[in-house]
Amino acid sequence: MKMLFISQLFDPEYSIKGLGFLQEMQKQGFEVEVITTFPSYPVGKVFPGYKLKPWQVETHSGIRVIRVYSFISHSKSKFSRALNYFSFMVTSFLAMAVMRKPDVVYAYHPQVTTGIVASIFKVLRGVPFVTDVQDLWPDALAATGTQGKGFLYSMINKLCNFVYKQSDHVVVLSRGYRGALIDRGVPAEKISVVYNWHASEGGADAEGNERVLPSGFEHTFVYAGNLGAAQSLKSVISAFSRCVEKSVCLAIIGSGVEKDELVAHAQSIGANNVFFLGYVSPQKVIKYLTQADVLVVHLKDEPLFKITIPSKIQAYLNSRKPLLMAVGGEANQIVNEARAGVCAEPDNISSIELAIAEMLDKKDAWQEMGESGRCFYETEMSQRKGVVKIVSALRQLQC
């Protein structure tokens, strides 16, 4: 079975369904080709070793990867972001038009724009497609303040519904997403819940023994990920600033459009126990997670995020570390079910502060929490389990 995988996000960027996933699909008998663009996320600049150009072909483990041009910008401008998505829509469709016809298209990230391309391709060439929903648009745009509920919101909503209607199958990352799509009229039998997994779930050796996290504190909490509006980390920083006397610090690893604002906020409130360590490649971040005592997850207090599962949860559970979870809804439920940490309410400084104190009181149980989380990950969220579900869905499209 020939599968064309379309994603604006792909290795060497951190991508859950990236090269590792496609190599597993190869083992299942799929012949895979990829259309993507040049790596730039989350720093907003093309990665070293790459140069933005109209077309580039690579081969990795027998998988042909076609990189096409897209507009790349680190700006918070709505126009720049829209141009980034739209340019990839155009160039990826042109690439599809000159490629050999696949048996199925897997539209990954961002789901709406790749889904539109796959929908048009289906109309023109009759190729079925699966759309993988990692963000519920336009809800996610409203939740992060990117787009208000006006004319453009309505148009994006209609495009999303068009993609759902055209798709032959829909993969979602949570039970909450499945319920939301059913409410939007997507047939339940057309939707599969496939938890995301950690892209490097086997783990990697943390090379060297040198300390990479801040020293001078008894306890080190770590947040690793994007620094954007959805993550809303100001309340987390504020909560940790109240815990200086507990000899606890927060190390923030990552980059994003909100970084400068977060640094300024930390300075303005005197959060001397909060450190910004910058962007660290996915290949090297394991060292930071290994040295952490507790790993932190936070999202903005929005109804949408109560039904989502941030991808860093899988990475954290896989690392055998306890979690401080402040997302609410399904994400908090998972941590409680897995007995993997302590939960707080998002965007609630007092609640997060209390969760920090509770976590410190339970220090003797940290190892047990970490092992329990890893066990939950292996049984419920592993790549092996996810690939089985996706292969099953794709095989059904052949019937």
126/275 same-domain check? no
Q: Are 329 and 176 in contact (CB under 8 A)?
A: yes
Tell me how far apart the alpha carbons of residues 325 and 373 are, in angstroms, rounded to a whole number.
12
Flag whether 347 is in a domain: yes
* 214 phi and psi angles, rounded to 5 deg: -60, 145
Q: Is residue 66 part of a domain?
A: yes
Do residues 316 and 341 share a domain?
yes
Q: Is residue 274 part of a domain?
A: yes
Pair (277, 170) in one structural domain? no
Q: What are phi and psi of 200, to 5 degrees?
A: -120, 55
Q: 107 forms bridges with which residues in the sheet?
A: 6, 131
Q: Cis omega before residue 110 (within 30°)? A: yes
Which 3-state string (H, E, C) describes the chain? CEEEEECCCCCCCCCCCCHHHHHHHHHCCCEEEEEEECCCCCCCCCCCCCCCCCEEEEEECCEEEEEECCCCCCCCCHHHHHHHHHHHHHHHHHHHHCCCCCCEEEECCCHHHHHHHHHHHHHHHCCCEEEEECCCCCHHHHHCCCCCCCHHHHHHHHHHHHHHHHCCEEEECCHHHHHHHHHCCCCHHHEEECCCCCCCCCCCCCCCCCCCCCCCCCEEEEEECCCCCCCCCHHHHHHHHCCHHHCEEEEEECCCCCHHHHHHHHHHCCCCCEEEEECCCCCCHHHHHHHCCEEEEECCCCHHHHHCCCCHHHHHHHCCCCEEEECCHHHHHHHHHHCCEEECCCCCHHHHHHHHHHHHHCHHHHHHHHHHHHHHHHHHCCHHHHHHHHHHHHHHHHC
182 and 248 share one domain: no
In a domain, 206, yes or no: no
Is 205 contained in some domain?
no
Do residues 151 and 299 share a domain? no
For residue 367, is it within any domain? yes
Same structural domain, 143 and 262: no
Q: What is the pTM of this model?
A: 0.82
Which positions ≥6 away from 96 have C-beta within 8 Å?
Answer: 4, 6, 35, 117, 121
Asked, for residue 141, whether it belongs to a domain, the answer is yes
Q: Check whether residue 315 and residue 358 sit in a common domain.
A: yes
CATH number at 369 reads 3.40.50.2000
Is residue 162 domain-shared with residue 301, that is, in the same domain?
no
| Full pLDDT tens readout for the chain, 399 residues | 999 999 999 999 988 899 999 999 999 999 999 999 999 987 889 999 999 999 999 999 899 999 999 999 867 677 888 899 999 999 999 999 898 999 999 999 987 899 999 999 999 999 999 999 998 877 766 665 555 567 787 888 898 999 999 999 999 999 999 999 999 999 999 999 999 998 877 555 556 678 999 999 999 999 999 999 999 999 999 999 999 889 999 999 999 989 999 999 999 999 999 999 999 987 788 899 999 999 999 999 999 899 999 988 998 999 999 999 999 999 999 999 999 999 999 999 999 999 999 999 999 999 999 999 999 999 999 999 999 999 999 998 876
Q: Are 9 and 41 in contact (CB under 8 A)?
A: yes
Residue 376 and residue 387 share a domain: no
The answer to the question of residue 278 being in a domain is yes
- Domain count of the chain? 2
Return the structure tokens found at 315.
């990475």
233 and 376, same domain (yes or no): yes
**183/265 same-domain check:** no
Same domain, 245 and 154: no
Domain that holds residue 280: 219-380
